[in-house]
Amino acid sequence: MRNIIKFCLSLFDYLTEKKIFNQLKRFFSNKKTISLIDIGAYKGEYISGIIKNFKISKAYCFEPNPKVFKILDKKISPNEKIKLLNYGASNYSGNILFNENIESSSSSINELNEDSNYYKKKFFLLNFLGKGDVTKKIEIKVVTLDEFIIENNINELDLLKIDTEGYEYQVLLGLKDKIRMINLIHFEHHFDDMIVKAYKLTDIHNLLTMNGFKKHFKIKMKFRKSFEYLYIKKNYIS
Confidence of residue 5 (pLDDT cuts 50, 70, 90): low
Alpha carbons 24 and 132: distance in angstroms, whole number: 41
At 80-114, the pLDDT tens digits run 999 999 999 999 999 999 999 887 888 999 998 88
Confidence of residue 212 (pLDDT cuts 50, 70, 90): very high
> 106 near 118, Cβ under 8 Å?
no
pLDDT > 90? residue 123: no
pLDDT of residue 165: 94
Alpha carbons 63 and 38: distance in angstroms, whole number: 9
Q: Which residues contact 206 (CB under 8 A, 6 or more apart)?
A: none
Residue 224's alpha-carbon distances to 8, 16, 118, 219, in angstroms, are 12, 12, 9, 11
At 151-193, the pLDDT tens digits run 999 999 999 999 999 999 999 999 999 999 999 999 999 998 8
Alpha carbons 123 and 31: distance in angstroms, whole number: 42
Residue 172 Cα to chain centre, angstroms: 11
At 191-203, the pLDDT tens digits run 988 889 989 999 9
For all residues of the chain together, what is the average pLDDT? 90
Q: What is the DSSP letter of 142?
A: E
| Domains defined for the chain, CATH in brackets | 2-233 (3.40.50.150)
Window from 11-25, 126-140, 149-163, 191-205 with minimum mean pLDDT = 126-140
